[in-house]
Structure 1
Amino acid sequence: MQNYDEVELSALGMAIGTVVTVAEILKNNGLATEKKILTSTIGTKDESKGRLVRKAKIEILLCKSENFNTIMSSKKSDRPKSAEEEIKV
């Protein structure tokens, strides 16, 4: 999210829970705000049975929060220095 103002998370079927969790973590940490959520079903072909299977799909559009840069800069200063960073000092 540092390079872009918006990010879209999308998932099919069983992966939906993971995408929702990631979106909630970003929102709860104050890094993102929810702009749009779309749900739909898509048809995919089941190779083993040769028939069309319907799967749930979710798309979550998040944008940077107003405090994104402040939060990220404070997190960078809180993290321990790597060995490479310590050598430069």
Structure 2
Amino acid sequence: MNHLNPSKTGLALGKLFGTVHFVWAILVALGWAQALVSFSQWAHMVSVPVVVGEFDFSAAITVVLVATLVGYVLGYIFATIWNWLHRV
């Protein structure tokens, strides 16, 4: 099996998580997020009252940074466990 570089795996997953949350922040800023949430609930046949709040720049920065950090940590842990399980 291939060896995974924990740092590169963490960076890749962190970048993915951060980008997804950055796109979400843009959708909130543009006012499109509520429609997306409503569509998602309809498509999954779920009815839970969810209201997307107004855009807050500091909250957007915080969620992007935290998501990036969490993604990095999860990717690093995943690669470390992968390498341990597939050691030769």
TM (normalized to structure 1)? 0.30
Identify, as 1 or 2, the structure richer in strand: 1
Please identify which structure carries the higher helix content.
Answer: 2
Q: Max radius of gyration: which structure?
A: 1
TM-score (ref. length: structure 2): 0.30
